[in-house]
Homo-oligomer: A and B are copies of this chain.
Amino acid sequence: MKKVTIRDVAREAGVSVTLVSFVMNAKMGKDGRLDCPVNPNTAARVLEVAKRLGYRRNNAAASLRSGKSHSVAVIVSDLANPFFAEICRNIENIAYKDGYTVIFASSEENPEKLAHLVETMVGYNVEGLIVAPCLGGEKALERATNIGIPTVLIDRDVPGDGFGRVLVDNVDAGVMATKYLFHQGFGKIEMLSYKLGVTSLTDREFGYTKAMEDAGLKNETRLHRIDYDADAAKRGVIEVFRDAVKRGTEAFILPTKKLAMYSFNALNVLGLNLPNDFSFVCFDESDIYDLKKPVIPHVVQPLAEIAEKSFNLLQRMVNGEVPEDEKTVTLKAKLVLGGRFGVQPTEATF
């Protein structure tokens, strides 16, 4: 109930506060011994007393004095988005093993909220930031860098010098989806996309058109850019599918989960079904992809790897130097296939 301080422990153990501090911060050496300049017997006594008294370090005090907070902040656009949630969970996990605490927050795609969050996090003395920036967020992030807080960008890129980056190669993802369909024997492949101009999408589009071109299928290339607005999109997708039947289209690439949902809806409406009328390659994760066996092929990003690389990169930026040419990490997306005959779906690259 009452708070036990380092002083109480020192008095009770008959040693100085310095000793107690040493002991409490000592890490285990590989031999199981504490690696600190303290007599093992003294250390043991201190440990015993600390435990008996129920001592717990006051991190605020430690942080104030040492200037280190042992915490990092992760700011994504939406914590509830499964994509980000999974990354967050992994980052939290890795950080936890390292004795770090993570503070999460959602910017809600709002640059002002992002700016405010950065201020808040700075106020908490976080040692670094991992951010999935929203449009127009570069100002806020530059501020963090200027203050001297290392920042790692994930998922999306914004211009700026000091940032670390862990990004996924979306051009390659687009190429991969297309090539997979070639391997299945399809040539009449189309892509649905948005009018939006975000790089993750345009990169996937570019991958698709490039792969088609390289395969000599430039004339078959059909990239449909529909409205982002949900209702308009839904209608637009239905139109595309209606025409696609007449056109003899064999396969579609659906570069976001939502586009895939609209497409399933369109199939429903038009009385079409998946293996018979078209083949799909989707993106991200959905229960629907997993429903069929084999699963509907879908491109996933390496979430655990994004988490791991971004935290590691941040750590290295925090203590000491990361050479400029190692500040950007590019990861490859994977294609999930299979899951028939009792075998789990597996990841592949093309």
- What residues make up the interface of A, taking CB atoms closer than 8 Å to B? 1, 56-61, 63-64, 69, 78-82, 85-86, 88-89, 92-93, 96, 101-106, 117, 119-120, 122-125, 146-148, 261, 264-265, 268, 286-288, 290-293
Contact = CB atoms under 8 A, between A and B. Distances in A.
Contacts of A146: 1
The 4 closest A-B pairs by CB, nearest first: A60-B63, A85-B85, A80-B89, A79-B89
Contacts of A81: 85
Contacts of A123: 56-59
- Oligomer: number of copies: 2
A96 to B, nearest CB: 7
B80 A106 contact: no
B101 A120 contact: yes
Given A60-B125, A64-B60, A101-B103, A78 B89 contact: yes
Given A92-B79, A120-B101, A268-B293, A148 B60 contact: no
Contact of A60 (B69, B88, B287): B69
A104 B106 contact: no
Most chain B CB neighbours (cut-off 10 Å) among A64, A268, A293? A64
Contacts of A117: 96
Nearest to A292: B268
Nearest to A88: B79
A327 to B, nearest CB: 20
Contacts of A293: 265, 268
Contacts of A103: 101-104
A93 B192 CA distance: 34
Contact of A291 (B61, B105, B265): B265
Nearest to A124: B59
A36 B69 CA distance: 31
A119 B80 contact: no
Nearest to A64: B60
A22 to B, nearest CB: 18
A66 B146 CA distance: 29
Given A1-B147, A80-B88, 18 more contacts: A60-B125, A79-B85, A81-B85, A82-B82, A85-B85, A92-B104, A92-B106, A93-B106, A96-B105, A96-B117, A103-B103, A103-B104, A261-B287, A264-B291, A265-B293, A268-B291, A286-B287, A288-B291
A299 B78 CA distance: 24
A284 to B, nearest CB: 11
Contact of A56 (B56, B93, B119): B119
Given A1-B147, A92-B105, A264-B291, A64 B56 contact: no
Nearest to A90: B80
A209 B119 CA distance: 54
A106 B119 contact: no
Given A82-B80, A103-B103, A58 B93 contact: no
